[in-house]
Structures are given as structure tokens and as C-alpha cells.
Chains A and B, each alone.
Chain A
Amino acid sequence: MTDLAHAEEAGVPVPLTTRKDWSSDQEVRWCPGCGDYSILSAVQMLMPDLGVRRESTVFLSGIGCAARFPYYMNTYGMHSIHGRAPAIATGLATTRPDLDVWVVTGDGDSLSIGGNHLIHALRRNVNITILLFNNQIYGLTKGQYSPTSEVAKVTKSTPFGSLEQPFNPLSLALGAEATFVARTHDMDRKHMIETFRRAHAHGGASFVEIYQNCNVFNDGAFEEITGKEHRSDMLIPLVHGEPIRFGAEAEHGVVLHRDGSVEVVEVADVGEPALLVHDEHRDNPGLAFQLSRLSRGPYEPTPIGVFRDVERPEYGAGMSRQIEESKAKRGPGDLHALLRSGSSWTVD
């Protein structure tokens, strides 16, 4: 990419920006009251803080309500096809390690039609930040159940109730060998910003599930846990190195049983030392997996924050390293020599 005017390579300092600099001139067209608005503002508010360049930032998306996101960011962007954004991002991120590549997706986009691309991007640890807007419904196609909808959900396509066990997106990501897994929700801008910041800082693939309210087709899906008045009792903030506690008085906590299961308890009953101390960096994802399943749905106390953040070689960096090693060993590519790498003969 030597042809491109690279401000970064030229040593030009990152210009100071404001939220406005990151907003495109396009009118935002989600339904009034949609949770997507608050996620967009959280991202736009975070960007000036990250010390990154607009021209080196790319937002990619697939199809769905969330997928309109790139149009509203004043960066490079692509609104692609249903479910394929992680695949497209893989090609972009591995050929352009200098870029910050974000993937914006939804539960239908990346857990249904694009499930395969999601799990493989996570497994490979491609250097991308994936924001999954989970509203447990198909919004853009007007209200069919999604792979995260609860069992027995009545929708346009399931008038007698859906029969399908939903995916737990975090369990799925952990099972797919993800190195960074987090959850946040659209009602808490500060928590979103902090979670996105951590996801961006992570080298390799970061996966963030965002509970997002679709006020038109699935209004209040997360209300029982994200509503202001319920939050303290229903959301369990995970803080690395701290005992897992929640509640207005931090009166609830989480313990780890000998059989490997986790459970919500009253701190008064077990005492603080008995509480599970959160460790994002555990190499074994087993405990993070248990925490991801602590709640059976958005009606029970549910952990939010960073579940897992471990280091593993990043895919694109590995590719670049092999190229550098080959060049060092064999010298830079020589076309003349390549064409003669088999047996050649000369006719006079």
C-alpha cells in the first residue's frame, strides 16, 4: 500500500476530533426510539478518544437494521451482504494491518445466515472488533423470530410459538475460541463506551454482544434487566480481579461450586471470601462459559462486562510474518526466477 498517502507513516500526529467529525452527513433512519441510536452515539463519542484516524477506520456490516451503521460514520465503510461481513473483514484486516476494522452485525446477520463466518473469524483471531446488536428479532424483515428469540416466541412466522432453542451468543463465541468476549446493553452509554474501548484495544478478534431494544417488533425484551429500576439487582458487572458482586448494596454475589457450576448467592450467607473472583485472563474458557450461562434469559440476574480477554497470535500478523520470513530467506520475489523454477530448456 505504499502508493497511499499515509499520514500515519508520515508521522503526522492524529488530529484532535470531536464526535461531529465522526458523524457522516447521512440522515439516520432507524425507527424513532430504536436502541441503535444510543449505540451509534456511544461509538461516535468514543472515537475521538481512541487516538485513531478517520481515514484508517473502517466500519463493515452485513444486512439488517444494525447494518445501516456504516452509512452514519464518517469513515471508510461498506454495507455488504447478509451475514458476510466477517468474511469481508477478514480479507481487509489481513491485507491492511494498518486499519482499524469494525464489524457491525445483528443476531440474524451473524448468528443465522452468517454463523459460519462469525465462528471462523473468531477462531482465527482476525484483528477485527465485532459489535453484535442482539434484539432477539428480525427487524428489517418486519418481525420474524431470530436465532436468539426465546422458545415459544410468538411472531409473524411463528403464530403458535417458536420451537427452537436459542443461541447464547457469548457461549457460542467462547466455544468458537474467541479471545475477547464481552456483553453490554443499549441503556447504559458509559458501560457501552468502556466495553467498546476494551474491545478495540484487544489485539485479534473482539466480540461484544449488545442487548439492543427493538421498540417496534420486540419492545422491552431486556427491560426486566436493563430498566433503570431493575439494573442494580439484575445486572452483574464483571470486574477483573474483583469478587463478583451486585445489588444496590452489593448484597448479592456469585460463587463457584466444586462441580464447576456457578450460582447467585447472598453475600451475607456465604461471606465475601467465598465469592468468585473474576479473571478475564484465564486461559481455560470454561469459567467464562459458565458465567455466560449464569442467566437463562433476560429475566434473571445477568453478567455484563468483559468475560474473557486473552492473548493469542493474531491471524493477519501471522500471515505478514510468514511473508517477511520468506523474503528474508529467499529474497524478495523474482518473477524471472519463478518462471524458471521448474526445469527449463532453450531452443536456439
Chain B
Amino acid sequence: MSDTTTDPKSPHPIDRVVIRFAGDSGDGMQLAGDRFTTTSALLGNDLATFPDFPAEIRAPAGTLAGVSAFQVHISDHDISTPGDSPNVLVAMNPAALRANIDSLPGGATVIVNVDAFEERNLAKAGYEADPLGDGSLSAYTVYEVPMTSITTEVSKDAGVKPRDAERSKNFFALGLISWLYTRPIEATIGWIGEKYAGKPLVMEANLRAFKAGYHFGETAELFESSYEVKPAVLAPGEYVNITGNTATAWGLIAASTRSGLPLFLGTYPITPASDILHELSKHKQFGVRTFQAEDEISGIGAALGAAFGGALGVTTTSGPGIDLKSETMGLAISLELPLLIIDIQRGGPSTGLPTKTEQADLLHAMYGRHGEAPLPIVAAKTPSHCFEATMEAVRLAVKFRTPVMLLSDGYLANGTEPWRLPDLDDLPAIDPSFATETNHTDSDGQEVFWPYIRDEETLARPWAPPGVPGLEHRIGGLEKADGSGNVAYDGPNHERMTRLRAAKIAGIARDIPPTEVDDEDGAEVLVIGWGSTYGAIAAGVQRVRARGHRVAQAHLVHLNPFPADLGAVLGRYKRVLVPEVNLGQLSRLLRAEYLVDTVSFTQVQGIPFRAAAMEAAIIHQIEGMTDIATDTPGDLLAVVPGGAPTTPTRPSGNANGAVGGSGTGKATATGEPNRTGDGHARPTANPTPPTGKVSE
């Protein structure tokens, strides 16, 4: 990025760039970012995006609370994250600058809409002095572009009111960045024409602003050069750029098509899950029924009713909705009917951070119901993987006649990446195999249907939707007699049914692939994650390997049950690092299940991990294998108590229930229980108190 070229006409080649468009919620930054992304995708770059917007639809204009940003990372090679920090920040006003400047590395480029840097806006953003004039930005290359005034000027004679014309300034910014990174403009021009066909004045203003931005870059001689990011070498195939939520919706339609089960979505609007409802409601030609319920409970209730009737019943929500749906999940577990519950996780507890990502619902998914109520859990790892994960969740639900929870999160939901379209013939088969005949001879010699006679291999019961004569049966939330399904209160039967339900879910381990480990011979550290941390972990692992170290990586898609070989896999490594955007939930499960001395690395800031933080955490573990590092307070690496322990120590957190400890972006070493005579574990080491932030 920082190199210059002598010939301003030929673009300077770079291998990747991270651009962050930031402005007011009403400035259309998401749109500008999205268009830039689409153009880059069509150009063949690999990419990853990270939309980051406030919970308020329109926070007061010009304030920090109202800043909405869209970060896009484009590259000529395979990448897995939206980038740790932007190389280029487009700031439409002082608040956007102020909210983002700290995330920029020195030497980064800042392009500001200088028209917005007037007194009132500066004050609203909390600037006492104009940062453009006080030298505070001297570490960056700053370009001051009068975006508002040029945008209004070019539309002057188009019949657009100046106030309306001004609203096109996002297209000016898009045009300028399109020039700077040599993006073709035809696709966006065509898109504007289509999108605003019904509003000719808006279309005209947007077109003029977009072209003006592009030409400004070319003619203003402000920029030394434009840049070019060549297409990435991706596997041959047909690609689309897709968000996690769209991939999830399409996965549902694909599962419906493959299984022949009509799709029914019962849901209640909630951020960040609603886009799945929006997407599905567009595709009724697939026989999709979408039901916007009166509440979360009704959403899952209706989905369960549809499942009872032989449909593919699905409910979508986020954490707060999961709280409310737990009751019906319990019923579905008792009824042993296929049902899909999709949780697009967000920051909690309570309303928490509605628009920010977190993966803190794992233990809720695992244990958040009364009674012994196990259900399978599947987690998507990248935006496009949501498609496959959704189909897998449906496959398990149908095959094992059970509710399944699919975990995604805000980052996957809204983030995008190129997705190589699958061959439809390769999609998994999903066979509902409804019951069609009686399955039992009763004591009077009569052929009857018993709803709780199980398949010997899967322990699944028959799925017998109404409509078939002779299979009439009643089921409910009361405990059922093994086999007949009649109400039964006796203890031994309850124990048998409880164990059968647990065994059925545990047995799914035989039906899922073994743990996929990206290993290098001689690696002693395994980094294992789940969900949306995949990109950051992969990037961290890559960096560590580039530094000449060995490290293995595994990523869990199935979280309940775990793959059958997981215990053996974990046992192969001297150290197991578990990065999570929560306080150590998977780490806790692995410890409980396998008695393995995991090291939890956690962060809960509403954003994905940064690759640099991941790299540092891994390196620390690797170095800890051979020598004990001296920790520097305030450093990410500092928070491992007493350095990397060679003698495993019991985490003090076990005394109060916290595994990963608190604080931000910190790694906490946890150790093997130090058993004492009374069978209770005692803490033997004090963890260093939380210090500092993630260092970048």
C-alpha cells in the first residue's frame, strides 16, 4: 500500500487491502460497502466482509452512537477474515473518523468528507479541535475530499433538490474508492439503473454522484496512484458472494427440496436473524410457508405443529428468543419429532448487544432446558458454510426424529464471502421415511401402531403424520411408556426412556464424520474452535506457520455429540488452545467430557477475533511448550498465570464457575485438577488479574 509508482496511469499492484466505509447510520455505508464487495467478487477477488452497525436504526445524526461501518477485505489469495485493521478508512463525518481511527495502523490511508468537518459535527463527535488541522492525524495519509459539495453540485441541473442530492454522497465515496482500486464501474451503473428504476430523480443523482466520485479520483491529482488487486486463484467453479443468513435460508430450501418435506418457518422478528425470514418469504414458489408469529413461543410452537403434520418445521431467532423457546424444545425432545431451531447468536445477556456478534449460547443450547433434555447441536463456521451446516442439521433432525439446534452468529449472518456453488447432485439425501403401516401386534392379536417403537440402529421412533388410516396415535409432553407411547408415570419406565433419549442423541456420533484436523507432523499445540472463529483461527494458524512454527487446527461443526474420535485427537497434543467469543464454553465442555487440560482464550467485544491476537496466543502456547515466557503486564501474552505452566494447575476459575476468566482478549491457562483427599479440587495458582487489551 505504501509504495508509490512513477507512472500514475498504471495501477500499482497490491496483494490485498482492507477498506472500511464509515458514516452515519443514514449515510448508506452498508450499501456502498456491499456494492464495492459485489464488484470485487465479480472481479474474482477472494474477500470477507464485516458489517458493523449500531442497534439504533437512526441514532442522532453525527454522533458516535450513530456510526455505521462496513469493512471489506479483498485479496488476490485465499483469505479467511475481514482483516484485523483497515488500510483505508472512508470517514463521512467526524464521528465516523473518531469511532474508527484507533483501529487504523500507522501509515493507513484516511479519506474524509471534508464538508462534514464543521463545528457542529466536530462537537457532536466530541472533538475539541478539528483533527484535520491539529496534527493529530500525522501518522496517517489523509485525503480531504469535499464529497457533499461535489455531490450536490453535479446534480444541480438534474432537477434534484439539493437536500436530496446530498444523500447520494455514499455513491460518490463508492465511485472514488472504485477508481482507487480499479474496480469496473459498469456493474454498479447497471445496478443503480435497476434498483432506482421507479425513482428516476434518485437514480440520476446516484449515477451522477458515482461517476463524479470515480472521475474525481482520476482527475483531482490528489492520489499518487490507483491500485489493483488481481483476482485470487480460487478453485474452478461458479461462485456467488453470500451472507450467512442467505446461505442459511437457501440451505433450508435445499433441504426441503431434497427431502420433499414442505418447509414451514415459524418465527418472530429479531436481530440478527430476521433476514432469514425475509429471504424465505420471497421464495414461495418452493412451497415455503413463512409464519410471522405473535411471539417467539408461537414461532417454535407452530413449527412443531407443522412438524407433527409432516413438514420441515423450522424456527429462527437469537439468544433472547432461545430463552423463550426452551419450553417447546423440551416438548419436541419428548415428542421426538424433527425440528430445527436456528440461533443467530448476539451479545448477551438480556438484550445485550443486538447488532454485535458473540458465541455465548453454546451452553444454553447444550443445557438450557429442564430435565434430561439432550439435543444435537451443529454450528456453522463461515458465512457460506451456513448452507452446508443447515442441511446437516436438517439431516440429523429428520433421521433421528429430534429437534436440532443450529448455531450461527451475527458475524456469520451479515458477513459475506465467495461461495463456490455445490453440485446439486452432491447435496446430502434426506429421507423422511414416514411410517406407513402398523408396527405391533397387541395382546388381542390386533395390528396396531405404537409411536415409540424405535429403529434398532438409530433409536429413532417412527414419524407418522396424520392422514394415514390405522396409524392414529396420541403423543404428548407427559412421560410415555416405552413402545406404546401411552402416558406412564412409573419410575423404571422413566429411567429407561430418559436413557433411551440420551443414547439416541449420543449415538449420532456414529453418524457424523471424524474430527478434521489440519495437522503438521510434530505439532504439539492444537487450536480447536467452533463457529465463526474459524476464519480468525485459520488466519492465526497461517501466520504462525509462516513464522516457522508447527501447529495443528481443528474446528468443530458438531458440538453435541462430539465426533467419536475427538477424545483421541485431543490426547495427541501437549496443549489444546480453545479460542472463543465467550468466556470459555467449549473449553468447559471439552474438560468435562475428556478430562483434558485445555487452555481457554476468550474475548467478548462484539467483534470477531483478530488474526494478530490469535497468532500471539498460539505462539505463546508453542513457546510455553519449551520455556516459560516472562510476561509483560498489559500484553495479551501476560495473562497466562505464571507464564505457560509446565506443571498443570487447577484454574481458580473452577471455584466460582468461570473457566476462561474475565477481561478482554486474554488467554488463561487452565490445568489438570489437583485432587485433594476430600475429592474436591483446590486452586493452586492465582490467575493474573485481567489486564490490558488485545495488542495489535
A interface residue numbers (CB < 8 A to B)? 1-7, 24, 26, 53-60, 63, 70-71, 73-81, 84, 87-96, 98-99, 116-117, 119-120, 319, 322-323, 325-327, 329-333, 335-336, 338-340, 342-348
A88 → chain B, closest Cβ, in Å?
4
In the complex, are the beta carbons of A76 and B472 less than 8 A apart?
A: yes
Interface size on B, residues (CB 8 A): 75
Interface string of B286-328 (1 = CB under 8 A from A): 1111010111011001111111111101000000000000011
Interface string of B251-293 (1 = CB under 8 A from A): 0011001001010101000000000000000011111110101
In the complex, are the beta carbons of B241 and A71 less than 8 A apart?
A: no
Residues of A within 8 A of B436 (CB): 5
Query: Can you pick out 9 interface pairs between chain A and chain B where the beta carbons lie within 8 Å of each other?
Result: A2-B260, A5-B468, A59-B474, A75-B472, A79-B476, A88-B301, A96-B466, A340-B421, A347-B238
Q: Which label, helix, strand, loop or mixed, suits the secondary structure of the B interface?
A: mixed
Q: How far is the CA of A346 from the CA of B234 in the complex (A)?
A: 10
Residues of B within 8 A of A90 (CB): 266, 291, 293, 298, 301-302, 305
A344 touching B238 in the complex, CB below 8 Å, given contacts A81-B328, A84-B328: yes
Q: How far is the CA of A53 from the CA of B94 in the complex (A)?
A: 70
In the complex, are the beta carbons of B240 and A343 less than 8 A apart?
A: yes
Q: How far is the CA of A345 from the CA of B260 in the complex (A)?
A: 29
In the complex, are the beta carbons of A340 and B305 less than 8 A apart?
A: no
Residues of A within 8 A of B310 (CB): 1, 3-4, 95-96
Q: How far is the CA of A330 from the CA of B284 in the complex (A)?
A: 10
**Interface membership of B143, Cβ < 8 A:** no
Q: How far is the CA of A326 from the CA of B281 in the complex (A)?
A: 11
Q: How far is the CA of A6 from the CA of B436 in the complex (A)?
A: 11
Interface string of B329-346 (1 = CB under 8 A from A): 011000100000000000
Q: How far is the CA of A336 from the CA of B310 in the complex (A)?
A: 25
Q: How far is the CA of A55 from the CA of B468 in the complex (A)?
A: 6
In the complex, are the beta carbons of A323 and B287 less than 8 A apart?
A: yes
Residues of B within 8 A of A2 (CB): 260
A56 touching B466 in the complex, CB below 8 Å, given contacts A87-B302, A338-B283, A346-B237: yes
B391 → chain A, closest Cβ, in Å?
12
Q: Determine which of A79, A319, A345 lies in contact with B44 in the assembled complex, contact meaning CB atoms within 8 Å.
A: A345
A253 → chain B, closest Cβ, in Å?
40
Q: Which residue of B lies closest to A337 (CB)?
A: B285
In the complex, are the beta carbons of B472 and A55 less than 8 A apart?
A: yes
- Other A-B contacts than A87-B305, A331-B285, A346-B238, 18 sampled, CB-CB below 8 A, are A4-B465, A5-B469, A55-B467, A55-B468, A55-B472, A57-B466, A76-B472, A77-B473, A87-B294, A95-B305, A116-B294, A116-B295, A117-B301, A332-B285, A335-B424, A339-B240, A340-B238, A344-B240
Q: Which 6 A-B pairs have the closest CB atoms?
A: A79-B476, A91-B305, A333-B286, A87-B301, A91-B302, A88-B305
B236 → chain A, closest Cβ, in Å?
5
Q: Which residue of A lies closest to B234 (CB)?
A: A347
Residues of A within 8 A of B59 (CB): none
Q: How far is the CA of A325 from the CA of B287 in the complex (A)?
A: 11
In the complex, are the beta carbons of A343 and B187 less than 8 A apart?
A: yes
Residues of A within 8 A of B293 (CB): 87, 90, 120
Residues of B within 8 A of A5 (CB): 436, 467-469
In the complex, are the beta carbons of B285 and A327 less than 8 A apart?
A: yes
In the complex, are the beta carbons of B466 and A345 less than 8 A apart?
A: no
A54 touching B239 in the complex, CB below 8 Å, given contacts A4-B467, A88-B302, A96-B310: no
Q: How far is the CA of A88 from the CA of B302 in the complex (A)?
A: 4
A250 → chain B, closest Cβ, in Å?
44
Residues of B within 8 A of A26 (CB): 474, 486-487
In the complex, are the beta carbons of B234 and A322 less than 8 A apart?
A: no
In the complex, are the beta carbons of B236 and A78 less than 8 A apart?
A: no
Q: How far is the CA of A98 from the CA of B311 in the complex (A)?
A: 14
In the complex, are the beta carbons of B297 and A87 less than 8 A apart?
A: yes
